[in-house]
Amino acid sequence: MINTKRLTDSFCSLVAIDSLSFKEEKMVKYLNERLLGLGIKPHTDKTGNIYAFVKGSISGDAVLFCAHTDTVAPGIGKRAVVHPDGKITSNGDTVLGADDMSGVAAILEMLEVLEENNIPHRDMELFFPSAEEVYIKGSSAFDFSAVKAKTAYVLDLDGNIGNAAYAAPSLISFEINVKGRAAHAGFAPEDGINAAAAAAEAVTMLKQGRVDDISTLNIGVISGGSATNIVPAYCSLKGELRSLDHKNALGILDKVKAAFETAAQKYGAEVEIKHCTDLTAYRTDPNGRAAEQYKAACRKCGIEPKLVTTFGGSDNNSLALHGIEGLVLSAGYHNAHTCGEYIYIKDMEALTRIILNLVI
């Protein structure tokens, strides 16, 4: 029932639309037109999130399908190149944008198949969030009060079709500013307070990289000082931590704060620490309703499901905060966020068959 040419054409059309984060206006217009053409009335909020309810004709709770509308840079002037073996790439100087246009295309094809074949299906809710690539800013601002579904499938994981993530981490970003006192480094270094030295001591007190089985810590940006002959009066650091357990994430943050406060006190410096929780960890029951329905849908297609954890975030982090039990399904793309991103048409077809099986 899947129209391979239509699916491929939809994907290529989606890829050709410039839709960097916070600049998704053209994508929103295209999707609204496609949905209206299928008799579906979408609602778009001020952040650019698109939501629609599709009434079904068979019993069963509503199911929500989600795929985000934005892509990463370099993403201006993207073009899909379809190769003879069914592989689709960009022309090499931009990302392809299969993250997440493959997910969007699969949802659109599912809707086309249901409509043109008059196939009975469950109630569905469609959610196309904006600004996912910048720590799910779109879905974080969405009003979920009208959402009925308690089960969701977010089409936004890289890798092989059949994979689905049931757990993802909290992500806390932080900025640390250490303030010392400037002095001439040659004539009066003892009059200064070396902010860089205090910061360096704090960094050495912390274990970075994989700090335990479920957590990572990285201080990725360090800057400070004004000249080689001046004791640095300031040092700024930026980093992030991730953990599959939110309480554990907060514990690591406390260790970061303690290290810098201890080092600052030793050197007589001052320290300011700011942090932001960009993502909150979730864990969906791998034997719960969403997972079991997904496993059955895969097996009907002859695909063996595989439940995995991921250290990346997605809009499912937002859904989980609102009590919606979701999985993040592989959308079939590989090498996301690079100019070497690619996908195969057969994998988009398989993804479409899986989500069809979830509603019929």
Residue 109, both tokens: 């094809």
Q: Which long-range contacts (CB under 8 A, 24 or more apart) does 56-61 make?
A: 56/120, 56/121, 56/122, 56/123, 56/124, 56/359, 57/120, 57/121, 58/120, 58/121, 58/122, 58/360, 59/122, 60/122, 60/123, 61/122, 61/123, 61/149, 61/150, 61/151
Tokens of 354: 């899986």
End-to-end CA distance of the chain: 13
Considering all CA atoms of the chain, what is the largest pairwise distance in Å, rounded to the nearest integer?
A: 85
Tell me the C-alpha distance between 271 and 257, whole Å: 9
Distance (Å, whole) CA 136 – CA 72: 13
For 101, the token pair is 């246009």
Per the annotation, the verdict on 191 as an active-site residue is: no
Is 51 strand, coil or helix? strand
Alpha helices, DSSP H only, in the chain?
Answer: 4-15, 25-37, 98-116, 137-140, 195-204, 246-267, 289-300, 316-321, 345-357
Rg (alpha carbons) of the chain, rounded to whole number: 24
Catalytic residue (one of 70, 112, 123, 349): 70
Say if strands 63-66 and 342-344 run parallel, antiparallel, or are unpaired. Answer: unpaired
Q: 24, 99, 109, 132: which is the annotated catalytic residue?
A: 132
Residues 78 and 90: beta-carbon distance below 8 Å: yes
Q: Is 132 in the active site? A: yes
8-state DSSP, 274: E
Catalytic residues: 70, 132
